[in-house]
């Protein structure tokens, strides 16, 4: 009985996440969701000295005064991806159709699941966002389908209170409908190594890969996940994968 319940919960969670791929079939328009972008214009790079402090670019107190479940912020240069990140304390599907303020909206917001640590210290963290009819949320991740864009935009940033995490984009590609965090046991070194190899050399026909990147057991990977173009199939995902290359303390 316990096994059947666990299996049912897994299926329900997978179906909830597949709803991310229904977001281009938009219901009637709603009021857009607006957020305040970080104030800093200069961001650290891969080689920024560990002792070089940057001003804290995000007013987390202001966000958390609206919703205490805002815990991070993401910026992907060259796109309009500039949003707070939330994680629900009640249900992993809570923010599929809610803004970061918790208001009902079919475009949802950017979120992680409770299986992932909020410090982004897991070997693999998956961040979800809709590919919407409005071109917001994670829609512009698909810019990475263009090899020239992929080559020119090799970083994304995640802000935490007191930290700027710098990620190098290592690959971008289509993926099937597997729920990554349910399908892989990343506590198993062999499973983790095989997943890392998949990111470095995706089997997908539609892929861009950065050469010269190596990963090991200590690598901290963030997978940005959205639904792929309709031509890729209703349940297909598009992934942009980054590895942590710097953790800069803010002041």
Q: Assign 45 to helix, strand or coil.
A: coil
Mean per-residue pLDDT for 35-48?
Answer: 63
Residue 125 — pLDDT band, cuts 50, 70, 90?
Answer: very high
Residue 230's pLDDT band (boundaries 50, 70, 90)?
low
- Indicate the pTM of the whole model: 0.86
According to the 3-state scheme, what is the secondary structure of 48-86? CCCCCCECCCCCHHHHHHHCCCEEEEEECCCCCCEEEEE
- Rounded CA separation 150/154 (Å): 7
Q: What is the pLDDT of residue 28?
A: 40
Q: Where are the domains of the chain?
A: 2-22+49-249
Residue 128's contacts (CB-CB under 8 Å, 6 or more residues apart) are 17, 20, 110, 111, 112, 113, 138, 225, 226
**Residue 205 per-residue DSSP state:** S
Q: Which residues contact 210 (CB under 8 A, 6 or more apart)?
A: 150, 154, 168, 169, 170, 171
25-41 confidence digits (pLDDT tens): 444 444 444 445 565 55
Q: What is the pLDDT of residue 56?
A: 85
Amino acid 53: pLDDT = 72
Q: What is the pLDDT of residues 132-176, one digit of tens each?
A: 988 999 999 999 999 999 999 999 999 999 999 999 999 999 999
More confident residue, 194 or 229: 194
Given a cut of 70, is residue 23 above it in pLDDT? no
The conformation of residue 250, written as its DSSP 8-state character, comes to B
**Strands, E, within the chain: which ranges?**
70-75, 82-87, 110-112, 124-128, 155-160, 163-175, 207-209, 221-227, 237-249
Phi, psi (degrees; rounded to nearest 5) at 203:
-80, -15
Name the token pair of 144. Answer: 């990475």
Terminal-residue alpha carbon distance, the chain: 52
Find where tokens 């329900």 sit: 12
Average pLDDT over residues 16-24: 53
Instruction: Return the pLDDT at 49.
Output: 64
The pLDDT of residue 44: 74
Is residue 223's pLDDT more than 90? yes
- Please give the CATH topology (third level) of the domain spanning 2-22+49-249: Sortase; Chain: A; (2.40.260)
Q: Of all residues in the chain, what percent carry a pLDDT higher than 70?
A: 78
What is the distance between the alpha carbons of residues 193 and 121, in angstroms, rounded to a whole number?
A: 17
Residue 185 has pLDDT above 60, yes or no: yes
Which position has the higher pLDDT, 171 or 235? 171
> Which helix (DSSP H) or strand (DSSP E) does residue 181 occupy?
helix 180-183
Question: Is the confidence at residue 245, as pLDDT, over 50?
Answer: yes
pLDDT exceeds 70 at position 224: yes
Which whole number is the average pLDDT over 31-58?
64
Greatest pairwise CA separation for the chain in angstroms = 55
Mean pLDDT on 101-123? 96
* Mean pLDDT value across the chain: 86
CA distances from 170 to 110, 124, 142, 144, 201 (A): 21, 14, 15, 11, 10
**Most confident region among 12-21, 49-58, 122-131, 232-241 by mean pLDDT:** 122-131
Tokens representing 22 are 């229904």
């Amino acid at each position: 009985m316990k096994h059947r319940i666990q299996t049912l919960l897994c299926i329900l969670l997978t179906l909830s996440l597949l709803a991310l791929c229904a977001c281009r079939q938009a219901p009637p328009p709603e009021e857009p969701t607006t957020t305040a972008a970080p104030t800093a214009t200069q961001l650290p790079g891969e080689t920024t000295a560990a002792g070089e402090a940057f001003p804290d670019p995000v007013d987390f107190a202001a966000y958390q005064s609206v919703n205490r479940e805002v815990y991070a912020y993401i910026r992907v240069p060259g796109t309009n991806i500039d949003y707070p990140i939330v994680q629900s304390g009640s249900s992993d599907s809570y923010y599929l159709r809610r803004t970061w303020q918790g208001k009902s909206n079919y475009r949802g917001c950017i979120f992680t699941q409770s299986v992932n640590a909020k410090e982004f210290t897991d070997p693999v963290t998956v961040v979800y966002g809709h590919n919407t009819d409005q071109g917001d949320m994670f829609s512009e991740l698909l810019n990475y389908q263009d090899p020239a864009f992929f080559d020119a935009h090799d970083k994304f940033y995640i802000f935490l209170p007191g930290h700027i995490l710098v990620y190098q984009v290592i690959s971008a590609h289509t993926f099937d409908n597997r729920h990554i965090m349910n399908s892989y046991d990343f506590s198993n070194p062999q499973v983790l190594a095989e997943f890392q190899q998949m990111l470095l050399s995706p089997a997908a026909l539609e892929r861009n890969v950065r050469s010269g990147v190596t990963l090991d057991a200590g690598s901290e990977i963030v997978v940005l996940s959205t639904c792929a173009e309709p031509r890729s199939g209703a349940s297909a995902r598009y992934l942009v994968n980054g590895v942590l290359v710097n953790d800069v303390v803010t002041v």
